[in-house]
Amino acid sequence: MTYVRASDGTRIHYRVTGRPGAPPILFIQGLGADKNGWNLQRIASAPSYQAVALDNRGAGRSDKPHGEYSLEQMAHDAVTVLDHAGVETAHVVGASMGGAISQILAVKYPERLRSLTLACTAGQNHPWREELLASWRDAALERGIGSMGHDAARWVIGPRSFRRLLPAMGWLGPLALGRPSHAFAAQVDAVMNVDTSYAGELENVTVPTLVVVGNQDILTPRGDSEELADRIPTAELAVISGAAHGLMIEHARSFNRVLFDFLGRAEDAHRERTAEVAPEATAAAG
């Protein structure tokens, strides 16, 4: 198992899979979830990419310290993982809370991104969603994670897939029954307390960007993704029919088709940019 120490001493777990030396992808999961939420994408990416998947603080095998968390700190954790893995730039793929973290990466650390993918992600907190997340946090603290998992699942899994997928959905956020309540609550508070000024800086993002959402997503509805795509000049929007919030698992085949088509084009664009910069750097050095 691979760990790296964050700036405050918290141990962050990550795993590198796929083809060594291939274009790297950094996968960042959402609320309460760990890197296993990306298993179907990591498997699919293995022949052509090198996948770096981390457990955010408070989830998976990473430390779960008591106290306050912030999405800014989680973004810095992700950069620390890239540094430790020897990855200079990566295609960043984030889902839900991981998408919010990815937005911060794109704004604060633009030099580390080859491209940006925001899956089932919002650009701002709406009062109704804050109330919902607060109810999950309070239920987890008062009665434990398991007590609120079934109700939360209905916001994550599409109605047609609910019975079929529920037994396997420990991968996803509030359904991850082994998570300690204090860590889940700290992640919820981090989402609710994020600096909203980042949204205003998305217009400065220059790397190729994919915004992808399921048309059955009720937690981060299509309107959130449309707003993100409008704010980011380089963004393209993809809507997956029949998919809900857990689209990377529930509709993995469609999600992977959209994702890897985009990543292939984004990698080509990265190579073109790199080729253009190299002669300029050589001339400047001369």
Rounded CA gap, 232 and 205, in Å? 6
DSSP symbol at 55: P
Count CB-CB contacts under 10 A for residue 11. 15
Q: Residue 149: name the closest of 174, 184, 131, 132 by CA.
A: 174
User: How much of the chain is in helix, strand and coil states, percent to nearest 5?
Assistant: 50, 15, 30
Residue 279 has a pLDDT of 65
Residue 21 has a pLDDT of 95
Rounded CA gap, 101 and 76, in Å? 9
Contact 122, 222 (CB under 8 A): no
Cα atoms found within 13 Å of the Cα of residue 246, Cβ hemisphere only: 29
The rounded average pLDDT for each run of 10 residues, N- to C-terminus, in the chain (286 residues) is 95 97 97 94 98 97 97 98 98 98 98 98 93 92 76 66 50 52 95 91 97 95 97 98 92 97 98 81 52
Q: 215 φ, ψ to 5°?
A: -75, -5
Rounded CA gap, 228 and 198, in Å? 12
Report which secondary-structure segment, H or E, holds 240: strand 235-240
